[in-house]
Amino acid sequence: MRNIDVCPTPELLHLYNLQNTVVVVVDILRATSCITVALAHGVARLIPVATLEECRKLQEAGYLAAAERDAKKAEGFDLDNSPFSYMDPGLEGKTIAITTTNGTLAITQSREAVKVIIGSFLNLSAVTNHLLEQSYDVLVVCAGWKGKVNLEDTLFAGAVVEALQHDFSINQDTALIAKILYQVGKKDLVAFLATSSHVGRLHRMGIHQDVNFCLQKDKFDVIPVLRGHALVKL
């Protein structure tokens, strides 16, 4: 039987075996939600990079560039990390270089896997249906917050574990913990997440809309997948 496991933060990724594994990277607030929105709205490709320097070089080479640090847009870049910024029809067909505090690092660190796809509540069923149809083990890699575990990414991991639990084995407690949390919180994700640290951080910055948007399930049927250095539609 295939295995489903959860890595709760990229800091622990070295403990997991990526061979024969499809990785789902999740950074609900807000990188992987933005990437899902962008590809659903006609952006051609996103190039995730770990550092501001790499992102600036790609900007200088002519790409649009999105950069977030500490939940704010980094100075001198074109786009921030709000899902609403990626709905602009002017972005259709464009390539966007993107770097965020946690999410893009999780993507670049997962490259060794058989395949890296991008998950968010916005494309949850598209992702889980795809995982059920393929033959590899699955590892959900949570972006977390600066190395630490966060609630919203763990919850998404739990949603994936719940959807896959009858077809995959759960051998590790992190997957079990994620599933239990999701079963407690799934009826009202907004209320359940109201006390989490990053939701608090975003609320203090006045970004309620972003949080509520990113917690909606199955708004889009797209699956972003890493091909070479770029995220494109599967």
Binding site for its own copies (CB under 8 A): 8-9, 11-12, 15, 145-151, 154, 171-174, 176-177, 180-181, 184, 195-198
- Least distance between its own copies and beta carbon 114 (Å): 21
Q: Which residues contact 228 (CB under 8 A, 6 or more apart)?
A: none
Of the pair 9, 82, the CB lying nearest its own copies is at: 9
Q: Which residues contact 159 (CB under 8 A, 6 or more apart)?
A: 121, 124, 128, 182, 186
Which residues share a beta bridge with 22? 115, 138
191-213 burial, b if ≥16 CB within 10 A, otherwise e?
ebbeebebbeebeeeebeebbeb
- Least distance between its own copies and beta carbon 175 (Å): 9
- Least distance between its own copies and beta carbon 174 (Å): 5
What are 41's two structure tokens?
A: 């709205």
Of the pair 177, 232, the CB lying nearest its own copies is at: 177
Of the pair 132, 177, the CB lying nearest its own copies is at: 177
Strand segments (E) across 120-198: 137-142, 168-169
Among all chains, which residue has been given the structure tokens 């024969």? 20
- Least distance between its own copies and beta carbon 1 (Å): 15
- Least distance between its own copies and beta carbon 89 (Å): 36
Of the pair 148, 217, the CB lying nearest its own copies is at: 148
Of the pair 129, 197, the CB lying nearest its own copies is at: 197
The reply to whether omega before 204 is within 30° of 0 (cis) is no
Of the pair 85, 110, the CB lying nearest its own copies is at: 110
- Least distance between its own copies and beta carbon 5 (Å): 9
Q: Which residues contact 24 (CB under 8 A, 6 or more apart)?
A: 117, 118, 119, 127, 131, 138, 139, 140, 141, 160
